[in-house]
């Protein structure tokens, strides 16, 4: 029999702060956390406001022996995972480590300009031109081998596994928000089908480094009001039965989910609203919730005109205008945290459910860059 | 429970750029390792690798008009394998549009050509060079490049997944696709892997990690899984794609069936970033879970296609995991390493090795482990040295153990 999955722990780090309670307060108050990056002074992006993480990360991350292997996105995701586990009150040893699943969403490889500079510096010839021969002779040898670990896309997942002793079914999906939402769905399905007792799901991403911004710019993605950001977010999912047995605090039940492919999106945004409709519709059907019973919406709006319009038109058609007006837009406050966005939005929605007394059914959408659209229905337990 | 079968196969490898060549050369123990020609290696410590020799760019251009802009070699390899697999499957255009896709993909490497354009080493100079360079420079090709090209060409609407899980990536992709279909979440998937690290930063980076043999002079004999003299792997490149679907659907369209996918197991070592857990604990559980998933017992496995990298640690760890799981039976199961012939294809390795695992089921021949002249005393199983061997049985196991501790094992069953 299919089992219901509930959220028993939330961890997040973004420009709004660390610890979900603080992030929620900042979000609810309409705090604008966008800042200029001191690291981008004297670059073409000096005047670009970003969603920067400025608070210290979780001590489990700051003090970890693994930190030297961590890229920025690994740090963010590791920190969020540590906070989620702490928040859940779960002694992870109560579960068989091979029955704990780990499903992570991660972004593009996150190199920093400082990683490349030594290679370049040692590969420039007397005429100030790049030389392939020098690259082989000296440039490559200037790479710190540890650097190589940092650019491996599966490291966020592997480092969490090593750091917290998680050994079960696993998957890391890349490179955009939609794929991070798919990772959450994999965790939900694993619980539903009794493949795991507990699933840690989430994602981390950073698009505030010089190289990331050059990429976004070249790909035509730095358009509209989208504010690139960074963040990590994690959820502890357990079967409702197991969570109740250990008397865990339950934030919300994830009752339904849906996902659809937008084959017009490519690397960019899409005006196509059909896949957004499909994913919401699937989630609604699965949760047996009708639009009129939906009490809130957490959108995937990020300030890009085309993407936001597509989602807006679906929400407007499916739900009442009043619901559209009251929809919440986490990325407009925290900046676009890309692969961290779905778990962050679900975390915020779950926290709001827990905070209120009245029964809630909240729709959370993951839209944005790339070809995957996803939706989740959360409800009060 | 739904039964899942493989109905289409496409392979691009250093020993054959289609499945027919690959099957023949893998069975004959042909090596695809040689001197690298894709870039000037004269000043690099590593000068050998497993290159794909026949990349049919003209055919790809006909199928994918926008491919001229794609500079990512692994995407080209992947698309060639996709075309073969879809053609082989006999699916019509309408069915292909309903395909789900899961690709295990190699790292986005920064394009070396872009480094070459830099006219200085100040950050401002580099920024300006790249920002002013028009559309030709993207710095990196996003991981979804290949998937996007496939869905554009075939107007696919099914679920699309992309994972970049190092050496376990394509086994994860295929295993996950198998589970999607079995659970009814999908009906038809294109799954596989693609990779090419045969570029200056890829070869240089792996060399700096100490993962590659520096015995360039050995050429085709350099990749030596389970041999006492092994001291590192050899990088290769390639792709393999599988069309997998529910048995009833395959039968109703009278599709050719290569094998049944019977089980999948996925675990994490949770040990170290750089080394496998020495006793093979994570590998043991991945194999055990795959066997359980297939609903069989260990004594029903008749051949193991090993991860077998030719690195000192991996081969011992894998041998230990196999011995722990199979007990005395381990010595009776033929085990061979495809990497001895093609090198380590990183993200594509699991898929290409699963293709090699089909060979015994379809032709009755077990591909050999070549270059195994003297076994490491700690690697004391039957590794099918040098020459292919006759296969008897119904079940084969393919192992993939990824850098960082991700393990993925797949069991195939002869389709009767």
- Any chain B CB within 8 A of the CB of A108? yes
Q: Which CATH superfamily is domain A255-379 in?
A: Thiolase/Chalcone synthase (3.40.47.10)
Question: Which regions of chain A carry the CATH code 3.40.47.10?
Answer: 5-111+148-245, 255-379
Residue A1 is predicted with a pLDDT of 64
A154 neighbourhood in chain B, CB within 8 Å: 163-166, 169, 402-404, 406
Q: Which of residues 180-239 of B touch A (CB under 8 A)?
A: 183, 185, 200-201, 204-210
> Do residues B382 and B332 touch, judged by C-beta distance below 8 A?
yes
Helix and strand totals (H; E) in chain B: 14, 14
Longest CA–CA span in chain B (Å) reads 65
In percent, the amount of chain B with pLDDT more than 70 equals: 95
CA angle B405, B72, B87 (to 5 degrees): 90
Query: Which residues from chain B sit within 8 angstroms of residue A176, using beta carbons?
Result: 144
Report DSSP state, residue A159: H
User: Which residues of chain A make contact with B39, given a CB cutoff of 8 A?
Assistant: 132
Q: Is residue B132 part of a domain?
A: no
Residue of B nearest to A263 (CA): B151
Contact B123 A113 (CB under 8 A): yes
Structure tokens at B359: 């060979």
For residue B231, what pLDDT is reported? Answer: 97
Question: CB of B37 within 8 Å of any CB in chain A?
Answer: no
CA-wise closest residue to A324 among A336, A332, A316: A316
Question: Is A5-111+148-245 CATH 3.40.47.10?
Answer: yes
Q: Which of the pair, A227 or B129, is modelled with greater confidence?
A: A227
Q: What is the C-alpha to C-alpha distance for residues B342 and A314, in angstroms, rounded to an integer?
A: 50
* Active site annotation includes B102: no
Residue B97 lies in a domain: yes
How distant is the Cα of B363 from the closest Cα of chain A, in angstroms? 33
Q: What is the pLDDT of residues B311-353, one digit of tens each?
A: 999 999 999 999 999 999 999 999 999 999 999 999 999 999 9
A58 versus B115: which is more confidently predicted?
A58
Residue B130 falls inside a structural domain:
no
Asked if residue B60 is part of any domain, the answer here is: yes
Respond yes or no on whether the N-terminal peptide bond of residue B147 is cis (omega within 30° of 0). no
Whether residue A149 and residue B274 make contact (CB cut-off 8 A), yes or no, is: yes
Q: Is B344 a catalytic residue?
A: yes
Domain membership flag for residue B345? yes
Count CB-CB contacts under 10 A for residue A223. 14
pLDDT, residue A244, reads 95
| Interchain contact, A370 vs B144, CB within 8 Å | yes
For A17, the token pair is 């702060």
Q: Is residue B136 pLDDT above 60, yes or no?
A: no
- CB neighbours of residue A193 within 10 Å: 12
Find chain A residues with C-beta within 8 A of B114's C-beta: none
Judged by DSSP in three states, B300 sits in helix
Nearest by Cα to B393 from B289, B280, B262, B268: B262
pLDDT tens, chain A, 381 aa long: 679 999 999 999 999 999 999 999 999 998 889 999 999 998 999 999 999 999 999 999 999 999 999 999 999 999 999 999 999 999 988 899 999 999 999 998 767 777 778 888 898 888 878 888 999 999 999 988 888 888 889 999 999 999 999 999 999 999 999 999 999 999 999 999 999 999 999 999 999 998 899 889 888 888 778 999 999 999 999 999 999 999 999 999 999 999 999 988 887 888 899 999 999 999 999 999 999 999 999 999 999 888 999 999 999 999 976 676 789 999 999 999 999 999 999 999 999 999 987 889 999 999 999 999 999 999 999
Domain count, chain B: 1
Q: Where are the alpha helices (DSSP H) in chain A?
A: 20-28, 59-62, 72-88, 113-121, 132-134, 145-151, 155-164, 177-192, 210-218, 240-245, 274-287, 305-318, 321-326, 330-334, 341-355
Q: What is the rounded average pLDDT for all residues in chain B?
A: 94
**Cα A183 from Cα B391, distance rounded (Å):** 39
Cβ contacts (< 8 Å) between B112 and chain A: which residues?
Answer: 132, 135
- The reply to whether residue B144 touches residue A211, judged by beta carbons under 8 angstroms, is no
Collect all residues of chain A within an 8 Å Cβ-Cβ radius of residue B110. Answer: 111, 116
Residues 143-202 of A with CB under 8 A from B: 143, 145, 148-149, 151-155, 157-159, 161-162, 164-176, 179, 182, 186, 189, 193
- Tell me the C-alpha distance between B83 and B17, whole Å: 12
**Cα separation, B370 vs B341, whole angstroms:** 7
Per residue in B264-312, pLDDT (tens digit) is: 999 999 999 988 999 999 999 999 999 999 999 999 999 999 999 999 9
Helix or strand (DSSP H, E) at B93: helix B93-96
User: Quick one: pLDDT band at residue B117, thresholds 50, 70, 90?
Assistant: low
Residue B141 banded pLDDT, cuts 50, 70, 90: confident
Closest by Cβ to B270, choosing from A132, A161, A174? A161
Give ∠ CA B343-B345-B350 in degrees, rounded to 5.
115
The CATH number assigned to the domain holding B347 equals 3.40.47.10
**Model pLDDT, residue A108:** 85
| Phi/psi at A133 (5° precision) | -65, -45
Packed helices A20-28 and A341-355: angle between N→C axes, nearest 10 degrees:
80
In a domain, B100, yes or no: yes
CA distance B413 to B393: 9
Q: Which of B120, B157, B208 sits opposite A148 (nearest CB)?
A: B208
Give pLDDT, residue A322.
Answer: 67
Which residues constitute the domain of residue B301? Answer: 4-108+143-413
For B220, residues 6+ apart whose C-beta sits below 8 A from its C-beta are B31, B33, B34
B267 and A157 within 8 Å at the Cβ level: the answer is: no
Work out the average pLDDT over B387-409: 97
Determine contact, residues A374/A350, Cβ cutoff 8 Å: no
Say how far apart CA B400 and CA B167 lie, in whole Å: 7
pLDDT of residue B113: 64
């Amino acid at each position: 029999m299919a089992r219901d999955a509930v959220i028993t722990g939330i961890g997040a780090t973004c420009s709004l702060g660390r610890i979900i309670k603080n992030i929620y307060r900042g979000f609810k108050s309409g705090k604008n956390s966008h800042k200029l990056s001191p690291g981008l002074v004297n670059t073409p992006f000096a005047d670009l406001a970003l969603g920067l993480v400025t608070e210290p990360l979780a001590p489990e991350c700051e003090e970890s022996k693994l930190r030297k292997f961590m890229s920025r996105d690994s740090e963010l995701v590791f920190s969020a995972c540590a906070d989620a586990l702490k928040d859940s009150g779960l002694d992870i040893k109560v579960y068989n480590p091979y029955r704990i699943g780990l499903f992570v969403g991660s972004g593009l490889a996150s190199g920093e300009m400082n990683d490349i500079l030594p290679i370049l510096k040692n590969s420039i010839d007397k005429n100030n031109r790049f030389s392939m021969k020098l690259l082989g002779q000296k440039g490559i040898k200037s790479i710190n081998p540890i650097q190589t670990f940092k650019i491996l896309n599966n490291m966020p997942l592997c480092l969490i596994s090593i750091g917290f002793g998680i050994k079960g079914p696993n998957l890391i999906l890349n490179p955009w928000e939609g794929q991070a939402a798919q990772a959450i769905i994999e965790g939900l399905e694993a619980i539903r089908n009794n493949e795991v007792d507990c699933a840690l799901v989430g994602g981390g991403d950073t698009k505030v480094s010089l190289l990331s911004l050059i990429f976004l710019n070249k790909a035509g993605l730095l358009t509209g009001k989208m504010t690139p950001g960074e963040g990590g977010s994690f959820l502890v999912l357990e079967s409702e039965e197991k969570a109740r047995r250990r008397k865990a605090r339950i934030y919300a039940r994830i009752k339904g989910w849906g996902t659809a492919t937008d084959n017009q999106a490519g690397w960019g945004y899409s005006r196509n609203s059909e896949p957004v409709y499909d994913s919401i519709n699937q989630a609604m059907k699965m949760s047996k919730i009708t639009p009129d019973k939906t009490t809130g919406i957490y959108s995937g709006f990020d300030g890009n005109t085309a993407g936001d319009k597509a989602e807006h038109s679906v929400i407007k058609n499916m739900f009442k205008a009043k619901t559209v007006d009251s929809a919440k837009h986490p990325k407009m406050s925290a900046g676009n945290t890309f692969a961290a966005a779905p778990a962050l939005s679900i975390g915020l929605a779950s926290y709001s459910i827990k905070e209120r007394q009245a029964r809630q059914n909240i729709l959370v959408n993951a839209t944005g860059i790339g070809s995957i659209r996803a939706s989740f229905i959360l409800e009060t337990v | 429970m739904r039964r899942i079968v493989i109905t289409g196969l496409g392979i691009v490898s250093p020993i054959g750029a289609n499945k027919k060549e690959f099957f023949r050369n893998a069975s004959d123990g042909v090596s695809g390792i040689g001197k690298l020609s894709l870039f000037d290696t004269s000043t690099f410590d590593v000068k050998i690798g497993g290159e794909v020799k026949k990349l049919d760019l003209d055919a790809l251009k006909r199928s994918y008009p926008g491919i001229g802009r794609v500079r990512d070699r692994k995407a080209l390899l992947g698309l060639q394998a996709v075309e073969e697999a879809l053609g082989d499957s006999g699916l019509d255009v309408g069915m292909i549009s309903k395909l789900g896709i899961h690709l295990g993909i190699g790292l986005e490497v920064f394009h070396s050509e872009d480094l070459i354009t830099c006219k200085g080493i100040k950050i401002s100079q580099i920024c300006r060079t790249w920002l002013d360079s028009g559309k030709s420079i993207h710095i990196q090709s996003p991981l979804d490049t290949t998937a996007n090209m496939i869905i554009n060409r075939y107007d696919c609407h099914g679920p699309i997944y992309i994972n970049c899980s190092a050496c376990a990536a394509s086994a994860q992709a295929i295993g996950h696709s198998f589970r999607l279909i079995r659970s009814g979440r999908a009906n038809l998937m294109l799954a596989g892997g693609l990779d090419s690290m045969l570029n200056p930063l890829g070869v240089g980076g792996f060399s700096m990690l100490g993962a590659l043999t520096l015995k360039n002079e050995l050429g085709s004999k350099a990749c030596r899984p389970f041999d006492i003299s092994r001291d590192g792997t050899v990088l290769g490149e390639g792709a393999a794609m599988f069309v997998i679907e529910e048995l009833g659907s395959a039968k109703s369209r009278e599709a050719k069936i290569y094998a049944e996918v019977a089980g999948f197991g996925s675990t994490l070592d949770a040990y170290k970033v750089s080394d496998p857990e020495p006793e093979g604990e994570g590998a043991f559980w991945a194999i055990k879970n795959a066997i359980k998933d297939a609903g069989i017992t260990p004594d029903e496995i008749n051949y193991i296609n090993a991860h077998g990298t030719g690195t000192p640690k991996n081969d011992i760890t894998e041998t230990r995991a196999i011995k722990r799981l199979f007990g005395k039976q381990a010595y009776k199961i033929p085990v061979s390493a495809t990497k001895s012939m093609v090198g380590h294809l990183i993200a594509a390795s699991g898929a290409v090795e699963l293709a090699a695992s089909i060979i015994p089921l379809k032709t009755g021949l077990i591909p050999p482990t070549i270059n195994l002249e003297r076994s490491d005393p700690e690697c004391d199983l039957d590794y099918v040295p040098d020459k292919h061997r006759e296969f008897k049985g119904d079940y084969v196991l393919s192992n993939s153990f990824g850098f960082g501790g991700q393990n993925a094992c797949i069991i195939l069953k002869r389709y009767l």
